[in-house]
């Protein structure tokens, strides 16, 4: 595997958890406290998806970060800032839509303005939900760059800072810039990078053992997910975050809820291994090409999901308020939402790509202007030292 020739398995590995996240967001209306009867099937599916999908994104980002330590500070800052700006653009554009469709329409104007503008300053609690990951990934990449260019003592200090950020984020309502994800994001990103460096994804195996591994890993993923009862260092006690879930728990990394930490890490690793097995089983098939296409469009799909989450999800939740649905409908409706987003991507991809390009252009300007303002200060300091 080289930087010039991209293994399709990497795009498949990026596409598979993207589908999982899109589907999980569709399920939320059936397991959140929206007035619907509690549905254990949708929660069980969400438990499984949330147990590994987000950490898989960090892992896949590491697969494409082999030369991260060789990049300049300017390049790393621009690429990371562009991700944050995409999240901000989604927030500014679609948070008003979410408010208009019922999230906060009856609140005072100042509070509505806070809903829209506060996430731009805090890098957290985005009204459209999914952009939070772009902020978390941006900080994970910057931390990884510093880590890879540091000595042993500095690396220990970085881990200490990220662990403190994680602990602190569990005791505050609004952690800044997704600090609850820094340790986990950094760990799984570095793990993905190391997997590429050691050519762990370059293995070959006969189809039968590969299929057996594929089935076994997914079965283990399904078994592990519901075993996490929500307590950080207690595998037995139940620490469900929502009373409406009847004592059940699901990982919510956006809120810093990992549950039992050793099991969270194990579930993440097993889930990633299951995704890798899926990528190798499907990478020479039509379905693999479809997954790879999704993987090459993850950022546009994140923007697309922001649109759906802002407008369609609140309206559907309100329309379904107070009525229980058959389990088949609970499973099928989110699939229709996923299909709709993929279809909408075809005519809107050029616009979404322009938004992505604009954020990169704006990030370059901001980084360059900041560097230009700092040059006189550096020159003055050098003169004083001289």
Q: Judge whether 209 lies within some domain.
A: yes
Q: Judge whether 1 lies within some domain.
A: no
Secondary-structure percent of the chain, ordered helix, strand, coil, rounded to 5: 75, 0, 25
- Mean pLDDT score of the chain: 85
The predicted model gives 44-72 an average pLDDT of: 93
Q: Judge whether 3 lies within some domain.
A: no
The pTM assigned to this predicted structure is 0.90
CA 374 to chain centre: 33
Q: Which two tokens stand for residue 31?
A: 């397991």
Q: Judge whether 213 lies within some domain.
A: yes
The predicted model gives 77-99 an average pLDDT of: 89
For residue 382, pLDDT over 60 is answered with: yes
Range of the domain at 360: 8-385
For residue 184, pLDDT over 50 is answered with: yes
For residue 220, pLDDT over 80 is answered with: yes
Structurally, the chain folds into a number of domains equal to: 1
pLDDT in the model for residue 35: 46
Spatial distance between the Cα atoms of 304 and 281, rounded to a whole number of angstroms: 28
Q: Which two tokens stand for residue 86?
A: 């995409």
pLDDT in the model for residue 3: 45
Spatial distance between the Cα atoms of 184 and 166, rounded to a whole number of angstroms: 9
Q: Judge whether 2 lies within some domain.
A: no
Spatial distance between the Cα atoms of 386 and 374, rounded to a whole number of angstroms: 18
Q: Judge whether 14 lies within some domain.
A: yes
Spatial distance between the Cα atoms of 66 and 64, rounded to a whole number of angstroms: 6
Q: Which two tokens stand for residue 239?
A: 């620490």
CA 136 to chain centre: 7
Q: Judge whether 148 lies within some domain.
A: yes
Q: Judge whether 81 lies within some domain.
A: yes
Residues of the chain with pLDDT > 70, as a percent, come to: 87
């Amino acid at each position: 595997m080289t930087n010039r020739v991209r293994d399709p398995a990497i795009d498949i590995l990026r596409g598979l958890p993207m589908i999982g996240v899109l589907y999980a967001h569709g399920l939320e209306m059936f397991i959140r406290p929206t007035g619907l009867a509690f549905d254990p099937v949708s929660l069980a599916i969400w438990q499984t998806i949330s147990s590994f999908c987000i950490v898989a994104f960090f892992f896949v980002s590491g697969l494409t970060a082999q030369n991260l330590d060789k990049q300049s500070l300017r390049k790393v800052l621009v690429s990371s800032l562009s991700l944050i700006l995409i999240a901000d653009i989604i927030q500014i554009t679609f948070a008003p839509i979410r408010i208009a469709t019922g999230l906060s329409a009856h609140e005072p104007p100042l509070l509505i303005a806070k809903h829209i503008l506060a996430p731009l300053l805090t890098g957290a609690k985005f009204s459209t939900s999914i952009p939070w990951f772009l902020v978390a990934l941006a900080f994970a990449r910057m931390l990884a760059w510093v880590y890879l260019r540091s000595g042993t003592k500095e690396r220990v200090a970085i881990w200490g800072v990220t662990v403190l950020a994680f602990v602190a984020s569990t005791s505050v309502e609004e952690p800044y810039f997704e600090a609850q994800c820094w340790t986990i994001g950094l760990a799984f990103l570095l793990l993905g990078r190391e997997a590429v460096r050691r050519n762990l994804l370059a293995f070959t195996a006969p189809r039968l053992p590969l299929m057996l591994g594929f089935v076994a890993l997914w079965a283990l993923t399904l078994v592990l997910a519901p075993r996490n009862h929500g307590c950080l260092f207690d595998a037995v006690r139940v620490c469900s975050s929502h009373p409406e879930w009847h004592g059940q728990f699901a990982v919510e990394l956006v809120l810093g809820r990992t549950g039992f930490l050793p099991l969270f890490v194990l579930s993440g690793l097993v889930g990633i291994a299951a995704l890798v097995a899926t990528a190798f089983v499907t990478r020479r098939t039509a379905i693999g090409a479809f997954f790879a296409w999704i993987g090459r469009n993850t950022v546009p799909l994140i923007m697309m999901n922001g649109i759906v989450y802002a407008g369609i999800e609140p309206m559907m939740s309100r329309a379904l308020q107070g009525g229980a649905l058959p389990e088949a409908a609970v499973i099928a409706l989110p699939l229709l939402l996923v299909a709709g987003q993929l279809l909408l991507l075809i005519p809107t991809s050029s616009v979404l790509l322009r938004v992505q390009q604009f954020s990169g252009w704006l990030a370059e300007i901001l980084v360059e202007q900041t560097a230009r303002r700092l040059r006189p200060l550096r020159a003055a300091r050098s003169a004083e030292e001289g």
